[in-house]
Amino acid sequence: MADMKPPEKEGTLQGLLAILNLEELDVNLFRGQSPDEAWQRVFGGQVIGQALVAASRTVEKRRCHSLHAYFLRAGDPSVPILYEVDRARDGGSFSARRVIAVQRGKQIFNLAASFQTGEEGLEHQDPMPPDMPPPEELKTQEEWRQEVAHKLPPDLRSHFTRPRPIEIRPVAPRDMLQPQKAPPVQTVWFRVREKMPDDDGLHQCVLGYMSDMTLLDTAQRPHGISWMNKHLQVASLDHAMWFYRPFRVDEWLLYHQTSPGSAGGRGFNLGHVFTREGQLVCSVAQEGLMRVRPKSSRK
């Protein structure tokens, strides 16, 4: 994957690509940075994307077809993240990689990824959900947030409404500040706002980043609660992706998400990503912490 230029501005595609443009320190060793944002921990999608970048840098002429990851500790955005790649195997058709993300000498994340040489094979897929409105008929997530942002303190309001390189258009949005109980299903259209380089591997890494933006919210819907509730502790615990065929993240993709169940302070979520033409390009699974603290407990 080609190196990218430094970011021109926070919230732009250039800024996102710069975050994914890891510094190569040695063979199989890379360093990643976090954006300068007022956030207490590293966004999980960032670590997924960066770890996949690290793995991809050690593979030639093969595309990732699956990844499985665990979040072990909260990442500190003020500290660089080191990514150590283990070239587990290079076979005739498949290559396996293991990636460990480290901060201050401790693992915060690990990922196993498998890459495959392109080949033809038997194909079938679930259909895209029917009767989905086109993205042009829907409000953006930013527009929905602007409508309720006046209810927040000024410091939180700026973070809540900050510009992002990913455009999200919810099909059935809900008020994050006063959520009502709803079925554990949500669907969004999303895409990168600007033109991306023609690099299939980079599009996979960016989708890894995007796939963690809304998925965990799905398990919260039937409980009438959201991550904005100060008594709810949420965090990604694991994340898995299966890539079926090439796609572009700078074109509209439909992300259909469901939550089969939750228990033990954890919520399980599934997602399927379709092109606008209805072609299934990726499936996602994630379990996340969803712990309700007693109101009397400290933060």
**Domains assigned to the chain:** 13-117+140-292 (2.40.160.210)
Known active-site residue 236: yes
- Name residue 99's amino acid: V
Q: Is 212 a catalytic residue?
A: yes
Tokens of 71: 């979040």
Of 46, 50, 259, 286, which is the active-site residue? 286
Q: Is residue 27 scored above 50 in pLDDT?
A: yes
The reply to whether 286 belongs to the active site is: yes
Residue given tokens 């940075």 in the structure block: 33
Q: What's the rounded mean pLDDT across residues 127-155?
A: 83
Find the catalytic residue in 236, 257, 259, 262: 236
pLDDT tens by residue, 258-297: 999 999 999 999 999 999 999 999 999 999 999 988 776 4
What is the torsion angle, in degrees rounded to the nearest 10, for the CA atoms of residue 31, residue 101, residue 238 and residue 169?
A: -10
Helices (H), the chain: 13-20, 44-56, 141-148, 154-160, 200-210
Distance CA 199, CA 139 (A): 30
How many C-beta atoms lie closer than 10 Å to residue 88's C-beta?
12
From 212, 257, 262, 283, the catalytic residue: 212
**pTM for the whole thing?**
0.91
**Are 111 and 99 spatial neighbours (Cβ–Cβ below 8 Å)?**
yes
What's the pLDDT at 155? 63
What is the C-alpha to C-alpha distance for residues 50 and 43, in angstroms, rounded to an integer? 11
d(CA 57, CA 205): 11
**Residues 28-39: pLDDT tens digits?**
999 999 987 656
Asked if 12 and 6 touch (Cβ cutoff 8 Å), the reply is no
